[in-house]
Amino acid sequence: MPVHDPAAVPGGGPHAGNDTMSSMASREGDEPGRDLPLEGRVALVTGATRGLGLEIVTAVARAGADVVVASRRQEACDDVAEVLRRSTGRRAVGRSCHVGHWDELGCLVEAVYGEFGRLDVLVNNAGMSPRYPSLSTISEDLYDKVFAVNLKGPFRLGALAGERMRDAGGGVILNVSSVAAVRPSPESLPYAAAKAGLNAVTLGLAAAYGPTVRVNAIMAGPFRTDISAAWDEAFLDRVRTYPLERIGEPREIVGAALFLMTEASAFVTGTVLPVDGGMTATPV
């Protein structure tokens, strides 16, 4: 069963809705003297209009960074960017991009540099995991789309951004993976395989662009996003056997994400960090 980013669109994670946007709009701007660990940085977040991506891009802006909100629909990107500008006072720009389309990714990176002249943080969050009745009914097209969004796109963006970050003297790449990578199930097997590949890409990019560029991943567990409404009681019963005995709230991704994006993790790279309520620590 997919536990993260299951929306069948490449625009991002599975939690959106008016409640989250209202919450963003109600947040106050940064207070004078507040610690801003990402001040002066520019961050690009994919899948940033919904779910975990929306929580991350909001936290990044509140931590002082100017942000590029990337997702498939330009209108949704513009809406989030506008809210971030109002609520944080940071520069925020929306850029539509289908992360599963190789040719669009170079254009996205060029747009970031054209707008801001730099890129310091890349968050590869966009993902998809469409449902299917059985493994044998999975079409080649569906399989390829899942791999394109969850693996091909992050690889290409990581390579394009990582090279330019290295040449500029440094940067951070954060990939949002899933515990499905190490706990694959028949209900989300292509997604799980793609996320396992993303874990491998994380280690490979860390080796390729170190020592000045750090590359890490969050391996997200079950979060209360749109997909959670479809989870059956059997799955929720399993969740209750994990150490924290519950699914996560989207805002609970923020601490780990900011840790891996800031100098707090200056000696951390090539790490895949589970943020899963203890799911991967629990025997199968």
What CA–CA distance (Å, rounded) separates 198 from 192?
10
What confidence score (pLDDT) does residue 166 get? 98
What confidence score (pLDDT) does residue 153 get? 98
What confidence score (pLDDT) does residue 29 get? 46
Nearest to 190 by CA among 132, 236, 264, 229: 132
DSSP calls for 17-29 = HHHHHHHHHHSPP
Q: Which DSSP helix (H) or strand (E) runs through 143?
A: helix 140-147
Q: Is 143 in the active site?
A: no
How many CA within 13 A on the CB side of residue 146?
24
What confidence score (pLDDT) does residue 284 get? 78
Catalytic hit among 113, 132, 191, 209: 191
What confidence score (pLDDT) does residue 233 get? 77
Cross-strand partners of 273: 218
Report residues of the chain scoring pLDDT below 50: 1-19, 22-23, 25-33
What confidence score (pLDDT) does residue 24 get? 54
What CA–CA distance (Å, rounded) separates 149 from 147?
6
What confidence score (pLDDT) does residue 230 get? 62
Q: Strands (DSSP E) along 127-198, which ranges?
A: 171-178
Nearest to 99 by CA among 68, 129, 71: 71
What confidence score (pLDDT) does residue 232 get? 66
What CA–CA distance (Å, rounded) separates 279 from 284?
9
Domains contained in the chain, CATH given: 37-278 (3.40.50.720)
* Residue type, position 6, single letter: P
